[in-house]
Amino acid sequence: MLVHNDFPEDLETPVEYFDSWLTPVDRFFVRQHLPRPKVDAATYRLKVHGLVNSPLELSLDDLKKFAQVKVPATLECAGNGRGNFKPKIPGLQWTKGAIGNAEWRGVRVADLLKKAGVKPEAKFGTANGMDVGAGKTPDFIRSVPLRKLLHESTIIALEMNGQPLPELHGFPARLIVPGWDGASWVKWVNDLQLAPESDKGFYFATAYKYPNFSVGPGGAAKPEEMEVLEGMAVVSFFSKPLDQAKVKIGAVPVMGVAFGGEHRITRVEVSADGGAKWVDAKLGAENFQFAWRTFTHEFKASKKGYYTLCCRATDSAGRVQPIEAEWNPSGYLWNAVDRIGITVEG
Amino acid sequence: MRPLFCLLLLSSALFAADPAMVEKGRAEEKRACGGCHGLRIIHIQRLNRGQWDREITKMVGWGTVVKEREALLEYLVASYGDDKPAAPLARSADGSKKP
């Protein structure tokens, strides 16, 4: 893994591990705002309270008694690719690997809320995890609109790729908000409060917002011009060959992944001449709304030389990756056409 | 010496960071920042003076006590300014279990 921070750990997946539909747990990127808590599974409780008729306090065993559903979904940090923006932007300098795909298994939030009985005034669910920051560091708290919380694929996950959630990924429970930025996927979640308004803390009211107009490189927007991120941009990444690889004349296997947030990937194109000509790549068989899609292609290298390979994805909403990602003050949603260089040796 | 060369020398002397100040800033980083989080998250960034200044302000707001603010800023700009080459990322040896 590429180490962006040691304490708490912030780890990026090298792109060569984007070679399978499911990302292995120990190759899955890690983002932590605050040091992770030590959780005692025996005393763990998830509280569902606020604007509900019957507040709940559920142990892990209680959660396991609800219907367990499996949701394949891609998790991507809103700041994935921030390191590629110019001018530079403060924050983790992710290159391409703050993204991964897993099968999450757990309880539908809708089932929990049905049992609790949501009052009509409730518009948001505010999720808090057990992690706590030093000093006056704001607590990591995120709100999710009720319409998204009630979606059949929004779950409290207890498992990731068939095993209990690892500590780094939120043991024992993590909110899964498919198609939305990783910030919404609150780890170590133990509190869900239904409320008429969203949270006013730093991590919801200030962070993870995007300007409602294009500010241009280095530009700024007023607080009232910033909107909460909902959904992700369409994006794709090469897994193989690696950037600056040397290959032999002949068939060069090309592969990668593409993700469209709440939208399915419908097309991935590959260019071997810097984007002058494009051909369709072959899409992988796994095709789920909230999960990335793999793609493969065979580049027939008939002549030695240096080649610039590009890939660009299209999703079911008709969104196509741009040549340049839109610069924004926090460096979110980087999604420029991916580009690598390879040398074909004679 | 030619005038242009003299000007360049003068400019670099004016803008070169004071080594003592930078060392003081390095110690301040360890003291003021290292208690709450790893320093690598700082060292991977390349920001201009204004951006580093705002980062310090943010962290002071979040509770850290900075005693040598000017030195800390000089150290950050001199070491991790936006004119410095990107930092190569370290690779962990055993997946995401341990960095």
Question: Band of the pLDDT at B10, cuts 50, 70, 90?
Answer: very low
- Decide if A296 is inside a domain: yes
Reported as a pLDDT band with limits 50, 70 and 90, residue B15 is: low
Kindly list the residues from chain A whose CB atom is less than 8 angstroms away from the CB atom of residue B90.
Answer: 2-3
Instruction: Specify the CATH number for the domain of residue A325.
Output: 2.60.40.650
Does residue B30 surpass a pLDDT of 80?
yes
Interface of A with B in 134-173 (CB under 8 A): 134-138, 168
Q: How far apart are CA A262 and CA A316, in angstroms?
A: 9
If pLDDT is split at 50, 70 and 90, which confidence band does B7 have? very low
CA dist A304 → A92, A170, A299, B69 (Å)? 38, 48, 13, 55
**pLDDT tens string for chain A (346 positions)?**
999 999 999 999 999 999 999 999 999 999 999 999 999 999 999 999 999 999 999 999 999 999 999 999 999 999 999 999 999 999 999 999 999 999 999 999 999 999 999 999 999 999 999 999 988 999 999 999 999 999 999 999 999 999 999 999 999 999 999 999 999 999 999 999 999 999 999 999 999 999 999 999 999 999 999 999 999 999 999 999 999 999 999 999 999 999 999 999 999 999 999 999 999 999 999 999 999 999 999 999 999 999 999 999 999 999 999 999 999 999 999 999 999 999 999 8
How many beta carbons lie within 10 A of that of residue A227, not counting itself? 11
By C-alpha distance, the chain A residue nearest B36 is A134
- Is A295 near chain B, with CB under 8 Å? no
Gap between the Cα atoms of A162 and A103, Å rounded: 7
> Is the Cβ of A4 closer than 8 Å to some Cβ of chain B?
yes
Does A210 map to a domain? Answer: no
Under the banding of pLDDT at 50, 70 and 90, the label for residue B16 is confident
Q: In what order do the strands lie in the sheet with A141-145?
A: A56-58, A46-50, A189-195, A124-129, A141-145
Question: Rounded to whole angstroms, how far apart are CA atoms A127 and B36?
Answer: 24
> How many domains is chain A partitioned into structurally?
1
Note the pLDDT of residue A346: 85
Q: What is the pLDDT of residue B87?
A: 84
Structural domain contains residue A200: no
Residue A295 maps to a domain? yes
Choose among B37, B62, B95: nearest Cβ to A7: B37
| Residue B92 with chain A: CB contacts under 8 Å | 1-3, 11
Whether A276 is covered by a domain: the verdict is yes
Q: How high does pLDDT run on average in chain B? A: 86
Neighbours of A325 (CB within 10 A): 20
Output the 3-class SS for A203-240: HHHHCCEEECCCCCCCCCCCHHHEEECCCCCCEEEEEE
Q: Which residue of B has its CA nearest to A8?
A: B37
Give the mutation candidate from B89, B91, B92 for the A interface (greatest A CB count, under 10 A).
B89
Domain membership flag for residue A309: yes
Helix (H, G, I), strand (E, B) or coil at A5: strand
Candidates B76, B94, B96: best to mutate against A (most CBs of A within 10 A) is: B96
pLDDT level of residue B97 (50, 70, 90 thresholds): low
Q: What is the pLDDT of residue B4?
A: 47
Query: What is the ipTM, given to two decimal places?
Result: 0.92
Report which of residues B15 and A111 the model is more confident about: A111
Specify the pLDDT at position B13.
43
Of B37, B45, B64, the CB nearest to A90: B45
Tens of pLDDT, residue by residue over B69-83, are 999 999 999 999 999
Distance CA A97, CA A292 (A): 13
Chain A contacts of B47, Cβ < 8 Å?
A: 88, 90
Q: Is the per-residue pLDDT at B67 higher than 60? A: yes
pLDDT at B98 over 50: no
Q: Which residue of B has its CA nearest to A32?
A: B37
CB pairs under 8 A between A and B: 92
Q: Where are the alpha helices (DSSP H) in chain A?
A: 60-65, 109-116, 146-149
Q: Is residue A203 part of a domain?
A: no
- Residue B9 pLDDT exceeds 60: no
A 10 A CB-CB count for B9 gives: 11
Closest residue to A11, CB basis, from B63, B86, B99: B99
Q: Region B42-67: what's the mean pLDDT?
A: 97
Q: Which residue of A has its CA nearest to B53?
A: A90
> What is the predicted pLDDT for the residue at B14?
46
A253 lies in some domain: yes
The domain containing residue A326 runs over which residues?
235-345
Token pair recorded at residue A188: 């170590």
Q: What structural domains does chain B harbor?
A: 17-80 (1.10.760)
Single pTM value for the model: 0.95
